[in-house]
């Protein structure tokens, strides 16, 4: 594990679709001024760590292992590491079964005591306690979604695709049912439990995949994989409700090729929203109207590679890192802080099958 200059660099973790004994989880150093990336470490304990989450305060990293058994009902796993805060080095702690197939997203609560995992293929959500040393405890609760929607090829059953924490509630975008399921986390005796709070319908055939809440305004945004759209919602903090206010295309007008939306983030200023297109291989940039929450398209910027499954905005808001799964590359784009537009920096790092980017700072 190489060292990095703490003042001038930040640590970046990359989950991939690698496995089978090969390195699958990478540690990078990123130059804060230029956006240049350098690989400084790699780990092989987790197979196909397709999504990561980092608890910076407590020095922990959690990863899914996107596996499934032959029946497509179980087989997934979730793992934890401790983070060496001075170097970013990881120490593997252990794993638990995800009690579902193809886990693809996870989140911790603010106290770092509970972990929620979305199992895509089995359409279920699993809840675990987190021990003081970062060990993932035995399964505490599991909720399985039911239903389907209009796309028989992709929506034949429920497919939970993300777990987002907002005001102590968990929001789960379910691609298969065209719904956002909302859960409260409560204590049930000595165990935490998921209690259904409500659900929100997204338009038929949308395929909601990931979502982002505005950091300081009452809005939420869902990126829809199947019809390449983004839906804006007004968010009710007291009751946790979502009310649709707008749906816009994530693709350029007239584009007729095959493309599927993937990831969504809001820039540090809160004025701009970004969403990735796999197929068109771009990031769509929108201005957020602070009074209405509505989006106005600014730009489609190529990601410099193929199939940007995930991307991330740096904590200082100056760069976007795009994980191009099919071209084995992470490309750095600069953010124009005055306009929100993205610009190439010329920096690219080769990483096999990158699919998730998280920062430790």
- Say how far residue 163 (Cα) sits from the centre of its chain: 8
If you ran DSSP here, which 8-state letter would residue 352 be given?
Answer: S
pLDDT tens-digit map of 157-204: 999 999 999 999 999 999 999 999 999 999 877 789 999 999 999 999
Quick: pLDDT tens for 20-33: 889 999 999 999 99
Q: Per-residue pLDDT averaged across 214-239, rounded? A: 98
> Residue 2 pLDDT more than 80?
no
Q: How far apart are the first and last CA of the chain?
A: 18
Average pLDDT over every residue of 52-58: 97
Give the model's pLDDT for residue 344: 98
Backbone angles phi, psi at 69, to 5 degrees: -80, 180
pLDDT mean over 334-354 = 97
Question: Kind of pairing, strands 295-302 and 282-288?
Answer: antiparallel
> Is 342:331 a contact under the CB 8 Å cutoff?
no
Give the separation between CA 51 and CA 142, rounded to whole angstroms: 19
Q: How far is CA 24 from the centre of its chain?
A: 17
> Residue 130 carries which DSSP code?
B
Q: Has residue 6 got a pLDDT over 90?
A: no
pLDDT in the model for residue 4: 65
Q: Tell me the pairing of strands 90-97 and 77-83.
A: antiparallel
- Give the CA angle between residues 28, 278, 52 to the nearest 5°: 35
User: What is the percent of the chain with per-residue pLDDT over 70, rounded to a whole number?
Assistant: 99
> What would the mean pLDDT of 228-236 be, rounded to a whole number?
98
**pLDDT for 68 beyond 80:** yes
pLDDT class of 234 with cuts at 50, 70, 90 = very high
Lookup: tokens for 290: 């602070």
Interacting residues of 243 by C-beta distance below 8 A, sequence separation 6+: 233, 234, 236
Largest Cα span, the chain: 56
- Contact 301/282 with Cβ under 8 angstroms? yes
DSSP 131: -
The residues with which 235 forms a beta bridge, in sequence order, are 242
Provide the pLDDT confidence category of residue 7 given band limits of 50, 70 and 90: confident
pLDDT at 302: 98
- Tell me what pLDDT residue 13 has: 98
Radius of gyration of the chain (CA): 19
Per-residue pLDDT at 206 exceeds 80: yes
Residue 188, strand partner residues: 191
| Closest by CA position to 72, among listed 159, 169, 198 | 159
How far is CA 118 from each of CA 9, 95, 213, 359, rounded to the nearest angstrom?
Answer: 32, 16, 18, 21
Residues in CB range of 131: below 8 A, 6 or more apart: 137
If you count them, how many residues does the chain have? 361
Neighbouring residues of 234: CB distance < 8 A, sequence distance ≥ 6: 218, 219, 242, 243, 245, 293
pLDDT of residue 349 exceeding 90, the answer is: yes
Q: What is the pLDDT of residues 76-121, one digit of tens each?
A: 999 999 999 999 999 999 999 999 999 999 999 999 999 999 999 9
Q: What percent of the chain stands above pLDDT 90?
A: 94
Residue 248 has pLDDT above 80, yes or no: yes
The answer, yes or no, to whether residue 150 has pLDDT greater than 80, is: yes
| pLDDT of 3 | 64
Q: What angle do CA 146, 116, 134 make, to 5 degrees?
A: 155
Task: Decide: residue 117, CB within 10 A, 0-12 exposed, 13-18 middle, 19+ buried.
Answer: buried
pLDDT at 348: 98
Mean pLDDT of the chain: 96
Both structure tokens of 194:
């998921």
pLDDT of residue 20: 86
Q: Burial, 208: exposed, middle or buried (Cβ in 10 Å; 0-12, 13-18, 19+)?
A: buried
């Amino acid at each position: 594990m190489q060292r990095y200059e703490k003042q001038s660099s930040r640590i970046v973790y990359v989950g991939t679709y690698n496995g089978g004994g090969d390195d699958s989880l990478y540690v990078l150093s990123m130059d804060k001024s230029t956006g240049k990336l350098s690989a400084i470490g790699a780990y092989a304990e987790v197979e196909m760590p397709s999504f990561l989450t980092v608890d910076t305060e407590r020095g922990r990293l959690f990863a899914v292992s996107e596996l499934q058994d032959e029946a497509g009902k179980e087989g997934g796993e979730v793992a934890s590491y401790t983070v060496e805060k001075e170097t970013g080095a990881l120490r593997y702690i252990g794993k638990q079964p995800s009690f579902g197939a193809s886990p693809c997203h996870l989140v911790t609560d603010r106290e770092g005591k509970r972990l929620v995992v979305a199992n895509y293929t089995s359409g279920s959500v699993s809840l675990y306690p987190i021990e003081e040393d970062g060990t993932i405890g035995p399964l505490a609760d599991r909720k399985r979604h039911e239903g389907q929607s209009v796309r028989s090829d992709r929506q034949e059953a429920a497919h939970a695709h993300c777990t987002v924490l907002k005001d102590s509630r968990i929001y789960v975008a379910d691609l298969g049912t065209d719904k956002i399921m909302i859960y409260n986390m409560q204590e049930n005796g000595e165990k935490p439990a998921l209690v259904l709070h409500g659900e929100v319908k997204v338009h038929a055939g949308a395929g909601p995949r990931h979502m982002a809440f505005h950091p300081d305004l009452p809005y939420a945004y869902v990126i829809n994989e199947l019809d390449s759209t983004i839906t804006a919602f007004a968010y009710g903090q007291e009751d946790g409700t979502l009310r649709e206010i707008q749906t816009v295309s994530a693709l350029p007008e007239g584009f007729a090729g095959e493309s599927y939306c993937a990831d969504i983030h809001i820039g540090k200023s809160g004025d701009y929203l970004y969403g990735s297109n796999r197929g068109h291989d771009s990031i769509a940039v929108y201005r957020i109207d602070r009074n209405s929450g509505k989006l106005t398209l600014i730009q489609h910027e190529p990601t410099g590679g193929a199939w940007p499954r995930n991307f991330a905005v740096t904590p200082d808001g100056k760069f976007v890192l795009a994980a191009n799964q099919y071209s084995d590359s992470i490309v750095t784009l600069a953010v124009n802080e005055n306009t929100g537009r993205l610009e190439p920096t010329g920096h690219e790092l080769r990483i096999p099958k990158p699919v998730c980017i998280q920062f430790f700072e």
